[in-house]
Amino acid sequence: MNAQLLHIANRHPCFSTQASMNRGRIHLPVSPVCNIQCRFCKRTFNKTENRPGVTARLLEPFEAVPYIKNALELCPEITVVGIAGPGDPLASPHALQTFRLIYQNFPEMINCLSTNGLLLERCALDMFHAGVQTVTVTVNAVEPSILEQICAYIIVDGVRYEGYEGAALLIEAQKRGIQKAADLGMVIKINTVLIPPINGDHIAEIARTLSGLGAGIINIIPLIPQYEFIDFQAPDCIDIGLARKAAEEFLPVFRHCQHCRADACGILGKKDLFSSQTEQTFSHG
């Protein structure tokens, strides 16, 4: 790891194994809409599922500061404030509004934004000024013929693009956005959803391509079979191991992902940090 990534990793539970054991994060579910549709993605509201795209409710930006204050009283180990859904944080203005408030009130926190990258280039400078330090970009392929099997469509400025054209536009937008965010000094993590029949042999190329654009670490996420991919089998340990081995030829691999909810709060892997009276406020993942 380079010095900047190492400094962040020591405090960010989604960037290093050591930090994942004793540092906490809070996800603020302020982003209501998405501008792409992946064939495995199913966003919903509930208090039971532990996976991305799920939250108990949406927060308004103005609710973020008291929400974080309450969380810190219950879990002072929190060092990261993340926005990761349930939609894409850059598809609406809510995430950047929220980060500006957090940056003013909690300057010691690491602000982390997770995005599909479609609007990353357009928003990178605003993110930087809002105090965003780390960015996670979900990149499932860098070849349009592969990505079109995973992503059904994208929407840019009200126009819907499907198939190969939409996939190609998304890939190029992701590349430009990662490069710009890295040039601004943000630390970049790549999330790649492993779907062995589609991108299982493509992982090394994803890591190779994005390492050259400034990405610092990659996380291989096994597919959760749902939505259009409900009949797919989840990758097994061998599939995941081979994918990680391929990726780490080019990038460090994060290995402790917990498939966190959009409203997750606490320390990764530790059960129910908060007392029962906070159940209506926080979800854990």
Residue 228 lies in a domain: yes
Give the CATH number of the domain where residue 59 resides. 3.20.20.70
pLDDT at 50: 72
Is residue 212 a part of any domain in this protein?
Answer: yes
Residue with tokens 């300057």: 107
Radius of gyration of the chain (CA): 17
- DSSP secondary-structure letter at 174? H
Could you tell me the residue range of the domain that residue 32 belongs to?
3-278
Residue 201 lies inside a defined structural domain of this protein? yes
- How high is the pLDDT of residue 277? 33
pLDDT at 113: 96
Cα(9)–Cα(244) distance, integer angstroms: 19
In this predicted structure, what is the pLDDT of residue 275? Answer: 33
Residue-wise pLDDT for 203-250, tens only, equals 999 999 999 999 999 999 999 998 999 999 999 999 999 999 999 999
End-to-end Cα distance, the chain: 27
Residue 284: predicted pLDDT: 39
Task: Give me the pLDDT at residue 47, please.
Answer: 73
User: Whole-model pTM?
Assistant: 0.87
Beta strand pairing status for 151-156 and 78-83?
unpaired
Domain count across the chain: 1
Q: What distance in Å separates the CA atoms of residue 174 and residue 186, rounded to the nearest whole number? A: 15
How many beta carbons lie within 10 A of that of residue 237, not counting itself? 8
Residue pair 203/220 in contact (Cβ under 8 Å)? The answer is yes
Q: What percent of the chain shows pLDDT beyond 90?
A: 66
Q: What is the mean pLDDT of each run of 10 residues along the chain (285 residues)?
A: 64 62 81 94 74 78 92 87 91 96 94 96 97 96 98 97 98 98 95 97 98 95 93 95 97 79 69 39 42
pLDDT of residue 282: 44
Is 239 part of any domain? yes
- To the nearest whole number, what is the mean pLDDT of the chain? 87
For residue 163, being part of any structural domain is answered with yes
Angle at 219 between CA 67 and CA 190, to 5 degrees: 80
In a domain, 284, yes or no: no
DSSP state letter for 276: G
